[in-house]
Structure 1
Amino acid sequence: MFHANVINQLTNWIEDNLQEPLNIKTVASRSGYSPWHLQRMFKSITGYPLASYIRMQRLNNAACELKKSRVTVADVAAKYQFDSQQSFCRAFKKYFATSPSRYRRFSLTNRSSGSTNNQ
């Protein structure tokens, strides 16, 4: 139970710091555990390797931002600590099975047709 609380606090901290550079050393020092032990504990509790969890959260936040704002794809990629727009687009497409631009267009189209139906 104690480990679950530590991981829960750590996931909250990660989610609050997705726009900062996060790596295993940074997160491990925050947790007080060795990188090796933290990774084992994190995966056993969340089901995800730490790096995958961070990437997944960044991609989900980036997707929300693409839906809700007009910020460029390059700016979203930089905000969520991707090395380049290309690496962001590759990761986004792998995770969502569509490019960030198409995702945004589809979201805007659905939002427009949804608001038309509600009027």
Structure 2
Amino acid sequence: MRSDAFIHDLIDWIDNNIEGRLNLDTVSERAGYSKWHLQRMFKEHTGYPLGEYIRSQKLKKSADRLTTSNEPILNVAISLGFDSQQSFNRSFKRQFGQAPGAWRRSAGQQHDKSLQR
């Protein structure tokens, strides 16, 4: 069960360091494993691909910031490591079913359910 504890600690570290350019290379360097081995271990223990988990956590964080602040969408996107507002918008819409601006305008109880996915 040692690897379960390792994956749990890794998830905590990812969640606490989600802002910025966190990616597979950064996480694998931190973990001390090749990214291929780490991705295999992560999926085996969680059922999710590591890259998908990181992206999902970044998008959840961005949704929270859009709901609770007036920070420009571009600033939110860049601070969470997206290369452009366009790529951020595309990923955000894929995960939450609406563009970031629409999400912000319609902030309310419905978003709490989406963030728990």
- TMscore range, shorter length: 0.7 to 0.9
Question: TM-score, structure 1 length as denominator?
Answer: 0.86
The residue that corresponds to 1:40 in the other structure is 40
SS at match of 2:66: helix
Sequence identity of aligned pairs in percent?
47
CA shift for structure 1 position 46: 1.4
The residue that corresponds to 2:80 in the other structure is 80
Work out the CA distance in 1 between the residues paired with 2:23 and 2:61.
18
Work out the CA distance in 2 between the residues paired with 1:21 and 1:2.
28
Q: Which amino acid aligns with 2:17?
A: N
TM alignment of 1:1-119, pairs within 5 A? 1-107=1-107, 110=108
Greater displacement, 94-103 / 21-30:
21-30
Work out the CA distance in 2 between the residues paired with 1:89 and 1:73.
9
Question: TM-score, structure 2 length as denominator?
Answer: 0.88
The residue that corresponds to 2:115 in the other structure is none
The residue that corresponds to 1:115 in the other structure is none
Work out the CA distance in 2 between the residues paired with 1:106 and 1:78.
22
Unpaired stretches in structure 2, ≥5 consecutive residues = 110-117
Unpaired stretches in structure 1, ≥5 consecutive residues = 112-119
Work out the CA distance in 1 between the residues paired with 2:102 and 2:20.
26
CA shift for structure 1 position 15: 1.1
CA shift for structure 1 position 20: 2.5
Work out the CA distance in 2 between the residues paired with 1:30 and 1:42.
14
Which has the larger Rg?
1
Q: CA RMSD in A?
A: 1.2
CA shift for structure 1 position 95: 0.4
Work out the CA distance in 2 between the residues paired with 1:25 and 1:69.
30
Work out the CA distance in 1 between the residues paired with 2:23 and 2:68.
28
Work out the CA distance in 1 between the residues paired with 2:66 and 2:47.
27
The residue that corresponds to 1:117 in the other structure is none
